[in-house]
Amino acid sequence: MVDNIKVSGTLIESYLICKRQAWFHLHKIIPFQDHPFLEIGRLIDETTYERDLKRINLESVQIDFIKTKEGEIVVGEIKKSSKSKDIAKMQLLYYLKVLKDLGVPSKGILSFPTERRREFVELTTEDEEKLKRIVKEIENLSNESFPPPLEKIPFCKNCAYKEFCFS
């Protein structure tokens, strides 16, 4: 049982990738930290966007970087690859929603430094409704006694929980 959960951005991402992974996160069963992809992620985080404000903790979310552009606040999310762009986008939109709820309207920038690509995103009412539904579902998931059963999906291949799930 998890009480008073605060939904973080990574939790939104996890939930959309694999509900089982989200359940683990909710129970603080963190993935194997020596996994090469996690190490790559940490390296990208350390070496990119050095000039901008980095890793901002706001309420429950941790934002990769924030900068201002022509008087507007731009929130950035850094990803290793654009493979699951739609999921990364939802994560970023969630930050925009949290900021909006705090009275700080902002725009988002999705960044893939290793691909030298980026994309701007804006929050719509439709997105907000969708995010509200996802948060509710995550809250329900946190009350589940057992993790959702193992289901082999393409994400398993590079997942840092793979050894846990398949042991």
Partner 1 sequence: MNEIIYIFKSGRLARKDNTIYFENDGERKFIPVENTKEIHIFGEITLNKDVLEFLSQKEIILHFYNYYEYYVGSFYPREHYNSGYITVSQARHYLDTNLRVSLAKKFVFGSISNMEKVVRYYNNRGVNLENILANLRNLKDNLDSIVDIPTLLALEGKSREIYYDSFNEILKDSQFFMDKRTRRPPKDSINALISFGNSLMYTTILSQIYKTHLDPRIGYLHESNFRSFSLNLDVSEIFKPIIVDRVIFSLVNRGVIGVDFFDKRLNGIYLSENGAKEFVKAFDERLNSTISHKTLGRNVSYRTLIRLELYKIEKHIIGENVYEPFISEW
By CB under 8 A, residue 37 contacts partner 1: no
- 109 φ, ψ (degrees, to nearest 5): -135, 125
By CB under 8 A, residue 33 contacts partner 1: yes
By CB under 8 A, residue 155 contacts partner 1: no
Residues 83-142 that bind partner 1 (CB under 8 A): none
Could you give the CA distance from residue 128 to residue 29 in angstroms, rounded to a whole number? 29
Nearer Cβ to partner 1 (67/162): 162
Residue 71: which region, alpha, beta or left (left: phi > 0; alpha: psi -120 to 50)?
A: left
Nearer Cβ to partner 1 (45/127): 45
By CB under 8 A, residue 6 contacts partner 1: no
Q: Which of 67, 83, 85, 162 binds partner 1 (CB under 8 A)?
A: 162
Asked whether 31 and 24 are in contact (CB, 8 A), the reply is yes
Which two structure tokens, joined as six digits, stand for 2? 């998890």
By CB under 8 A, residue 76 contacts partner 1: no
Nearer Cβ to partner 1 (28/116): 28
Asked whether 98 and 58 are in contact (CB, 8 A), the reply is yes
Could you give the CA distance from residue 103 to residue 98 in angstroms, rounded to a whole number? 9
Under the rule (CB under 8 A), what is the footprint of partner 1?
2, 27-30, 32-34, 145-147, 162-164, 166-167
